[in-house]
Amino acid sequence: MFIKMALKQNIQSLPMEVLDCVFSHMGDKESVKQSRLVSRAFNNAAAPYLIDEAQVRVTSKSLSRLEELCNHDIFSKSITDVTIILSQYDVSLAMDRSLFMQDCTGRLLRNMEMRERMGAYKWRRMIASRCRKRVPPFSFQDKNREDALQREIEQQLWQLMYFNPVLLKISEEGFDEKEATPFQQVAMRLYSRYRERCQDQERVRRGNNHIDRICSALAKLPNLCNLRFDDPYLIVDEELQASDFPDLGFDRRMLEHFDCILSPSRCLSDLLPLESPWQHLDTLILSYQPATIEDLRALVALQADTITTFKWDYGWLLSGRWSEAVEVLRGFRKLETVSLEYPKGERFGTRVTPTCDVPYEEMYSYILKETDVNPLIAENTS
């Protein structure tokens, strides 16, 4: 009798408790989403497992999305984890196209170097794999057309950054925007977008209204268990599409290298808490990081007795003079190692190609107190 009844059962007639147990073990969100289309019962059982976490940034769109989820009858009860992204758009970059282009150049360089390193790693791994399998060495003929096209694009970008730094020319006096190259037009349009996003951010932040909105929304999540504050190195909110730039002739392969430019930007004061010292911080390494002379003064004032190694390669000095910067860094009382490779800004210019006439050894000797002659001041007076 029991067997005959069981044969008449079908999945639609399973109790809600059983369906709930099934979906609680289904980790694939796409499968959960598709299951909701089976029936109303499946929809009601699967919905709570479709969204269990949320992320919010200080933008009107992101805050509205969070509020929408927190006011939802089902999702407000299913969300257990919320991440608040602390990275923000830099007002100083949004108000100064020259600074934005310097930051844009640094981002492109970082992106290109990261891709080069990843490519070299994949290359070595592929060769090692072929050697283990006793397959003939890797040859260029084995590369498919997509790899060849991507390599050609990367070579174009390297040429753009190192041999023809047209991006930085956008901020020069007398620049004729009507004669802008395709790369310059992309950069200018991205600057306009960045500025719009920064303005939106500042409107949301006015009067600390964003804090009230976030707190009110979180109060509506009865099952909230984990609240995380994150400051990711790089946020890519969207992918630039060829349809956004139909008149420039760039496809997605080229535009993907520019995705990082619209990410929130951070200066040294955004990366380190310059209000209170880090008692155990003895090594600080920064790469392609912009900073003002005020940032450096605040850093040295707090960490003068802890830092023994300071490296600021490809650093951008956004304000002040480099002669002042080396004077400030001389304030590290326990410094043993210093590196300022390829400095940018002020006397060293904003060109992407490395500056050749930098008196590195003299600068390092002065910062480490091996001499009392500031080489950058001596050059000006000679």
Domain regions of the chain by residue span: 2-85, 90-220+239-265, 268-381
Sheet holding 226-230, edge to edge: 53-56, 81-85, 226-230
Indicate the pairing of strand 290-291 with strand 337-339.
Answer: unpaired
Q: Between 281 and 376, whose confidence is greater?
A: 376
For residues 338 and 341, give the distance between their C-alpha atoms in angstroms, rounded to a whole number: 10
pLDDT in tens, 199-257: 999 999 998 899 899 989 988 988 888 877 776 655 566 788 888 888 888 888 788 87
pLDDT value of residue 264: 77
* The predicted structure's pLDDT at residue 15: 65
- Structure confidence by residue, pLDDT tens digits, 97-144: 888 887 787 777 777 766 666 554 454 444 455 444 544 444 444 455
Q: In the structure, what pLDDT confidence band is assigned to residue 161 with cuts at 50, 70 and 90? A: low
Q: Where are the beta strands (DSSP E) in 126-264?
A: 226-230
- pLDDT value, residue 3: 47
The pLDDT confidence band at residue 382, using thresholds 50, 70 and 90, is very low
Is the pLDDT at 377 greater than 60? The verdict is yes
Q: Please, which residues have CB within 8 angstroms of residue 303's CB and are 6 or more apart in sequence?
A: 277, 278, 281, 284, 332
Comparing 70 with 13, the larger pLDDT belongs to 70
Report residue 35's pLDDT band, with 50, 70 and 90 as the boundaries: low
Residue 148 pLDDT > 70: no
- Angle 182-205/209-218 helices, nearest 10 degrees? 70
State residue 246's pLDDT score: 86
- With 0-12 CB in 10 A as exposed, 13-18 as middle and 19+ as buried, what is 280? exposed
Helix (H, G, I), strand (E, B) or coil at 149: helix
Report residue 192's pLDDT band, with 50, 70 and 90 as the boundaries: very high
Percent of the chain with pLDDT over 90: 20
Q: Are 282 and 306 in contact (CB under 8 A)?
A: yes
- The pLDDT-based confidence of 46 (bands split at 50, 70, 90) is low
Mean pLDDT within 18-35: 64
What is the CA angle 350-313-261, rounded to 5?
60
Higher pLDDT pick, 338 / 21: 338
Highest-scoring range by mean pLDDT, 20-29, 223-232, 267-276? 223-232
In the block, tokens 């802008």 appear at 180
Q: How would residue 317 be classed by pLDDT, with cut points 50, 70 and 90?
A: confident
Query: In whole angstroms, what is the distance from residue 254 CA to residue 153 CA?
Result: 6
Query: DSSP letter string over 221-249?
Result: -TT--EEEEE--S--------GGGSTTTT
Tell me which range, 19-28, 156-165, 203-212, is most confidently predicted by mean pLDDT: 203-212
Does the pLDDT value for residue 357 go beyond 70? yes
Which tokens is 184 given?
């310059």
Decide: 100 and 93 in contact? Cβ < 8 Å: yes
Which two tokens mark 252? 């997605």
pTM (predicted TM-score): 0.62
Query: What are the strands, taking DSSP E only, across the chain?
Result: 53-56, 81-85, 226-230, 283-287, 290-291, 309-313, 316-317, 337-339
Choose among 371, 285, 299: nearest CA to 328.
299
> Mean pLDDT, to the nearest integer, of 141-152?
60
Q: Which of 82-86, 315-319, 324-328, 350-354 shows the lowest per-residue confidence on average (mean pLDDT)?
A: 350-354
Across the chain, mean pLDDT equals 76
Q: Both tokens of residue 249?
A: 């002739």
Question: For residue 7, what are its two tokens?
Answer: 């044969």
- What's the average model confidence in pLDDT over 145-150? 63
Residue listed under structure tokens 């029936």: 39
Q: How far is CA 63 from CA 79, 195, 225, 343, in A?
A: 16, 19, 20, 39
* Vertex 6 angle, CA 3 and 7, to 5°: 90
> Exposed (0-12), middle (13-18) or buried (19+): which is 28, by Cβ within 10 Å?
exposed
Model pLDDT, residue 171: 73
Sequence-distant (6+) residues with CB within 8 A of 297 are 328
Note the pLDDT of residue 379. 53
pLDDT > 60? residue 17: yes
CA 57 remoteness from chain centre: 14
